[in-house]
Structure 1
Amino acid sequence: MSALFTVTRGDGPIVLGMPHVGTDVPQDIRDRLNDEGRILRDTDWHVDRLYAGLIPGLTVVRANFHRYVIDANRDPSGQSLYPGASTTDLVPLTTFDGTPIWREGAEPGAEDTAARLAAYHAPYHAALAAELDRVKARHGVAILWDCHSIRSVIPWLFDGTLPDFNIGTNGGATCDPRIEAATVEAARASGRTNVLNGRFKGGWTTRRYGRPAEGFHAIQMELAQASHLATETPPFDLSPAKAAALRPALAAMLSRLAALAPTLAEKR
């Protein structure tokens, strides 16, 4: 297995978090997955490629382990992000369609979860927190853009078809209003479907690190995979044409936020 995470340091005010891009699964864990689980269907496919080099100065913290090992965007206490709504756990037992992913009798238990929290979840977040602290020390503020994608039609999680851009700020709590407004304005200017704090209001990462009063701003972008994949079924290939059309809109959003950073720092 490769390193648990990869950090690429930039000199700008934005940190990209990528908790669900990784596809590494240790062999002993892979052996416990069933045929459905080994497809790794719920990966945030090719999100790292979408964001690569979009604007100068980006810092990237990318988890290399798969979310079926442990979900780095879930509260380590196990508390649900969306009480009363369908969702998966710290160590998922099913896909986003509610289909079991583990061989019968091999489902992870509390000891597995505790071990994986220590071995994977905690180190990833220690690295992410360190980069946010570094960036804030340099710029006076740090902006976390948490990068995600998901299949555009998943009845178990939501009705209908997901918009291309799903922007989450936990109801405006995780960032300065100007960050939220600039992101929404850029999303609308792209002409693509978009929603603010819809089904996805920001996961544990956004909620944990979004502390505007302390100079840490966080926003989640959940992309519908129809916006950039050739197919949302195996082999989940990236569509070069779709990616080329999508990347300028993402670059416009990040550029606006980078330009806001000095003003946000002055405000403090």
Structure 2
Amino acid sequence: MRTESHVVRGGSPVLVVAPHAGCAVPIDLRAHPAWEPISGRQSDPGGMALTEVAQTRGMTGIAAAIHPCVIDMNVAPHDSALSERLNRLNLCRTHTAHGEALYSQGLEPDGAAVKQRVADHWTPFHESVLAELLRLREAHANVFMLVAHAGAWLSPFRSQRATVDCHFSTSNGNSCDRRIVSALTQVARHRERAWVVNGKSAEGFAARHYGRPESGIHVVELEISGNWRREIELARNEGKGIDTHEAAMSELLDAAERTLSTLDGPTTPADLPRALRDAFQYHATS
């Protein structure tokens, strides 16, 4: 059964994607007691809030429906675990960030099960992302995609108290024009948020795969963590929704859009749709 993403289309050249915002757990997994507390739990409240704010500003928002412990939309489908001990970092985690087993011993997803999840969940999500990127790129000389994620929060090292509010990453400077990154960090500084660019957190799939600034597609990954994440969680628990953080998030998105409008057109006349689709097919079928 394929799982569709939540897509709200806008006309702005800015697109917000939240690969870790999903809360759904397939019914067959919910039969395992370890999955009961996972189902419905929000892993990335910051990413969810960013997509909601983007939609109020006429920007496109895409949020994954499936929980990232089922399958991580920001990991390439052929990536393997760093080690057996750290298998929870893999495409389909076998443990929570706390190290709790999600499967009984010997019942972890095998290669066939992982391949099925890729077909059911990962591929439809990235088909939606690709379609929206190409739609917006056809209408605008430059497009900016902000990928809001919770990679560090989902890692085995989440118990370490986060001190940075905004983790920006650009595939080591390759996925986005530096002027857009500078505009984002200026907003973070103005809002008195601790930030870092291309810090210790591992690079995600989206920046590496989609970022093609020379062809008019600029991608920055952002993890909202630290105090800002805690404040967003508290506001949601108190029923305040995005109201208390809408101004700061709007400022981030507007700064990116303003800077995007000042950039020259693409310098590479390559067939962008074909290049992106070929790369997508490689990852989806590997």
- Measured against the shorter chain, the TM-score band is 0.7 to 0.9
- In 2, the alpha carbon distance for the partners of 1:109 and 1:86 equals 13
Given the two structures, how large is their TM-score scaled by the length of structure 1? 0.85
- In 2, the alpha carbon distance for the partners of 1:154 and 1:65 equals 18
- In 1, the alpha carbon distance for the partners of 2:107 and 2:75 equals 22
Counterpart residue number, 2:21: 21
**Distance of aligned partners of 1:163 and 1:245 in 2 relative to their CA distance in 1, 3 Å threshold:** farther
**Are the equivalent residues in 2 in contact too, given 1:42–1:150 (CA < 8 A)?**
no
SS at match of 2:53: coil
SS at match of 2:233: coil
- In 1, the alpha carbon distance for the partners of 2:210 and 2:161 equals 31
Amino acid at match of 2:18: M
**Distance of aligned partners of 1:219 and 1:109 in 2 relative to their CA distance in 1, 3 Å threshold:** same
Per-residue CA distance 1:65-114 (angstroms, 9 max, x = gap): 11122111101111469xx9886110001112222222333321111101
What is the deviation of 1:242? 8.9
60-69 vs 155-164, which moves further: 155-164
Amino acid at match of 1:8: V
Gaps of 5+ in 1: 232-236
Amino acid at match of 2:53: G
What is the deviation of 1:179? 1.0
Residue 251 (str. 1) matches residue 255 (str. 2): no
- In 1, the alpha carbon distance for the partners of 2:192 and 2:261 equals 28
**Are the equivalent residues in 2 in contact too, given 1:228–1:239 (CA < 8 A)?**
no
Per-residue CA distance 1:227-253 (angstroms, 9 max, x = gap): 31129xxxxx54556954433222111
**Are the equivalent residues in 2 in contact too, given 1:20–1:44 (CA < 8 A)?**
yes
SS at match of 1:147: strand
- In 2, the alpha carbon distance for the partners of 1:125 and 1:153 equals 20
- In 1, the alpha carbon distance for the partners of 2:238 and 2:198 equals 27
Counterpart residue number, 2:284: none
Q: Output the aligned Cα RMSD.
A: 3.1
Counterpart residue number, 1:132: 133
Matched ranges for 1:222-261 at <5 A = 222-224=223-225, 225-230=229-234, 237-239=236-238, 243-261=242-260
Per-residue CA distance 1:189-242 (angstroms, 9 max, x = gap): 1111211112335410122111111111100110112131129xxxxx545569
Given the two structures, how large is their TM-score scaled by the length of structure 2? 0.80
Counterpart residue number, 1:98: 99
Matched ranges for 1:39-188 at <5 A = 43-45=43-45, 47-54=47-54, 56-79=57-80, 88-149=89-150, 156-157=157-158, 159-188=160-189
SS at match of 2:234: coil
**Are the equivalent residues in 1 in contact too, given 2:39–2:67 (CA < 8 A)?**
no
- In 2, the alpha carbon distance for the partners of 1:28 and 1:242 equals 31
SS at match of 1:24: coil
**Distance of aligned partners of 1:86 and 1:3 in 2 relative to their CA distance in 1, 3 Å threshold:** closer
**Distance of aligned partners of 1:152 and 1:119 in 2 relative to their CA distance in 1, 3 Å threshold:** closer
Question: Which one has a larger percent helix, Structure 1 or Structure 2?
Answer: 2
- In 1, the alpha carbon distance for the partners of 2:153 and 2:75 equals 21
**Are the equivalent residues in 2 in contact too, given 1:227–1:243 (CA < 8 A)?**
no
- In 1, the alpha carbon distance for the partners of 2:104 and 2:88 equals 20
Per-residue CA distance 1:128-184 (angstroms, 9 max, x = gap): 011001111101121110012478797725854231111111221110011111111
**Distance of aligned partners of 1:163 and 1:14 in 2 relative to their CA distance in 1, 3 Å threshold:** same
28-37 vs 180-189, which moves further: 28-37
Counterpart residue number, 1:38: 38
- In 2, the alpha carbon distance for the partners of 1:124 and 1:251 equals 25
Counterpart residue number, 1:234: none
Gaps of 5+ in 2: 268-286
- In 2, the alpha carbon distance for the partners of 1:42 and 1:151 equals 14
Amino acid at match of 2:232: H
- In 2, the alpha carbon distance for the partners of 1:155 and 1:91 equals 14
- In 2, the alpha carbon distance for the partners of 1:38 and 1:203 equals 22
SS at match of 1:53: helix
